[in-house]
Amino acid sequence: MSDPRHNSSELPSKPPIWNDPKYRALFFQIILVAALFYFFYSLVSNTLGNMEARGISTGFAFLSEKSGFDILMSLIPYSSDSTYGSTFVVGLLNTLLVGFLGIILATLLGFTMGIARLSKNWVIAKIATFYIEIFRNIPLLIQLFFWYIAVLGVLPSARDSHSLFDRFFLNVRGAYLPAPVAEDGMIFTGVAFVIGLIATFFASKWAKNKQIKTGQRPPLLLIALGLLIVAPLLVFFISGSPLSWDVPKLAGFNFAGGIEIIPELFALLLGLSIYTGAFIAEIVRSGILAVDHGQTEAALSVGLTPAQNLKLVVIPQALRVIIPPLTSQYLNLVKNSSLALAIAYPDIVAVFMGTTLNQTGQAVEITAMTMGVYLVISLSISLFMNWYNAKMSLVER
């Protein structure tokens, strides 16, 4: 190796191979791959050996075997004669149901509380602050137990249910709501609504064009309300109100008819939406505060009304800040719904990773399938988020 101090006229020779960053990188990566390979090799061989020793056969054949247990709540026809495969579907659908309803409720609660915390009304702002600070800082599991055991568990029996207008009932067996039953002519109202939706889409394009051309903004909200609500309602009444309500009735010791919400689902929804709502409220608040006050001043000084300012200036900019953390809260809500296990709501973890795994002992397959479900949900939500971020990010000129 030549010392550059002595041969200053020559170019410094290439560094030795163990100091060349390129070869070093290659070397480290080869080591990593080898280590990973060894890790997974020993993992797989250990697992296969252990399973053989315990007499568990590998493979997905167990999915078509008879399950032999009942599930508390199912969105598809299911009985103990169904297969283990259908326990997977039942659990998955229950998870999706609670995720979907939970997201809607948490969003409503979170936006209300986030805006309320910014209210000029002192009482309302303080109530919202207390709500956020209390529920954000208590573990979700405790909250679920609280709703399930301490609140829903001490409700009266079916005979002494709490009722609202004799239509809605709440007792220890769950909540009961009237179910809408569509009759023959209901299809017309549906068609009218779809037409209204399409018409609203075109109306908004027309309104935008008109605003660009003339500077005047047509009352789009009124038009949309008319098209989406008034017109379908008119059709509904003209076609003779073809909708009846299936009201739950006390039959024996329990209610029959209507929509039944089992207490497990009710507690889970309460817990998830109140807990996640507190986080969403903080996101909404910081999103609104992130819009500089100068924006509002500028909007008012060019002659927008306060309502227009909110709608056209503040909210679009606040949403840009709100949406990314909001989606990750949605993701958290779906993942947290797995705590259903603790209060026996039959979601995918409770049914499939719990009961089915205990009965079959197919730990590897079942864990992989369950985690796969959550990974697919997470990845699709984060793909959506990336797409949305790209669409909404500031286009700088």
Partner 1 sequence: MFVTDKILPELPAPQNTKGIVHWLKVNLFSGPVNTILTLFGLFLLYKIVPPAVQWVITDATWVAETRDTCRGEGKGACWAYIINRFDQVMYGFYPADERWRPNVAGIFLVLLAIPLFIEKTPKKAWLAGFILVIYPIIAYFLIRGGSFGLVPVDTNKWGGLMLTLIISFAGIVTALPLGVILALGRRSTMPIVKSFSIIFIEFWRGVPLITVLFMASVMLPLFLPEGTDFDKLARAMIGITLFQAAYIAEVVRGGLQAIPKGQYEAASAMGLSYWKSMALVILPQALTLVIPGLVNTFIALFKDTTLVLIIGLFDVLAVVEKVLSADAAWLGFHTEGLVFSAFVFWIFCFAMSRYSMSLERKLDTGHKR
Q: How far is the CB of 208 from partner 1 (least distance, A)?
A: 31
Q: Quote the strand ranges of 174-268, DSSP E.
A: 174-177, 179-182, 243-246, 249-251, 254-256, 259-261
What are the helix and strand counts (H, E) for the chain? 15, 8
Q: Would you tell me which residues interact with partner 1 (CB under 8 A)?
A: 25, 28-29, 32-33, 36, 42-43, 46-47, 49-51, 53, 119-124, 127, 133-134, 136-143, 145-146, 149-150, 153, 335-336, 338-339, 341-342, 349, 353, 357, 363-364, 367, 370-371, 374-375, 378-379, 382
Q: How far is the CB of 377 from partner 1 (least distance, A)?
A: 8
Q: How far is the CB of 237 from partner 1 (least distance, A)?
A: 32
Angle at 262 between CA 277 and CA 180, to 5 degrees: 90
Query: CA 80 to CA 394: how far, in whole Å?
Result: 55
Long-range contacts of 123-127 (CB under 8 A, 24+ apart): none
Q: How far is the CB of 259 from partner 1 (least distance, A)?
A: 27
Q: How far is the CB of 339 from partner 1 (least distance, A)?
A: 7
Amino acid in the structure at residue 50: N
Give the three-state DSSP class for 118: coil
Sheet with 168-171: strands ordered across? 162-164, 168-171, 174-177, 259-261
Pick 256 or 290: Cβ nearer partner 1: 290
Nearest to 267, CA basis, from 275, 259, 278: 275
Q: How far is the CB of 369 from partner 1 (least distance, A)?
A: 11
Pick 31 or 198: Cβ nearer partner 1: 31
Nearest to 224, CA basis, from 256, 201, 241, 247: 201
CA torsion, points 382, 387, 389, 395, in degrees to nearest 10? Answer: 170
Q: How far is the CB of 186 from partner 1 (least distance, A)?
A: 37
Nearest to 283, CA basis, from 320, 308, 311: 320
Q: How far is the CB of 334 from partner 1 (least distance, A)?
A: 8
Residue with tokens 């990773």: 353
6, two tokens: 């002595």
Pick 50 or 80: Cβ nearer partner 1: 50
Pick 276 or 370: Cβ nearer partner 1: 370
Length reported for the chain: 397
Query: CA 55 to CA 392: how far, in whole Å?
Result: 55
Pick 246 or 365: Cβ nearer partner 1: 365
Q: How far is the CB of 81 from partner 1 (least distance, A)?
A: 27
Pick 123 or 302: Cβ nearer partner 1: 123
Query: CA 331 to CA 288: how far, in whole Å?
Result: 22
Pick 5 or 397: Cβ nearer partner 1: 5
Pick 19 or 214: Cβ nearer partner 1: 19
Query: CA 279 to CA 333: how far, in whole Å?
Result: 11
Q: How far is the CB of 292 from partner 1 (least distance, A)?
A: 15
Pick 235 or 339: Cβ nearer partner 1: 339
Pick 1 or 76: Cβ nearer partner 1: 1
Pick 111 or 374: Cβ nearer partner 1: 374
Nearest to 62, CA basis, from 84, 79, 88, 87: 84
Q: How far is the CB of 45 from partner 1 (least distance, A)?
A: 9
Amino acid in the structure at residue 385: M
CA distances from 173 to 267, 351, 390 (A): 12, 21, 47
73, two tokens: 């709540």
224, two tokens: 């949309």
